[in-house]
Amino acid sequence: MSPYAQARADLRDTTAFFASLEPATDQQKQIITTAVPDFMQVVETTLLMTRQLANPVPKLLLFVVIGWSALLFMSYGLLGTFNALSVAIEALGSIAVASAVFMILSRRSASTI
């Protein structure tokens, strides 16, 4: 069972537990009334963390970053003269962008372990 499915099942079980309670006094009613929103906040945070772990880096973000950097480097290459220095600078820039993407992906995958 996936962590997201497990969290949803836990949510259903705990919600059913709160619904099955029959408070006898006003104090018990007040405790249940204050406990339910706190529980919902914990569940929402758990579900958010589960979703973030399941999809650590949006593919659209990577696509946009790589697309813009490729467009910028291609534009710089088209506007500049072709010589060894411009090729070296373009290579260094592309290595910088590639290493940044690599660090983002490796950092996110390391945090999920």
pLDDT at site 90: 83
Cα–Cα separations (whole angstroms), residue 81 to 25, 50, 75, 96: 84, 50, 12, 21
Domain residue limits, the chain? 3-54, 59-111
Query: Is the Cβ–Cβ distance between 90 and 73 less than 8 Å?
Result: yes
In the chain, pLDDT over 90 holds for what percent of residues?
Answer: 4
Answer with the residue of higher pLDDT: 66 or 50.
66
Query: Is the Cβ–Cβ distance between 3 and 55 less than 8 Å?
Result: no
pTM of the model: 0.44
Q: pLDDT band for 111, please (50, 70, 90 cuts).
A: low
Q: Give the whole-angstrom CA distance, residue 105 versus residue 60.
A: 13
List pLDDT tens digits, range 2-57: 766 777 788 888 888 888 988 899 999 899 889 888 988 888 888 788 777 766 67
Give the CA count within 13 Å in the CB-facing half-sphere of 113: 6
pLDDT at site 54: 67
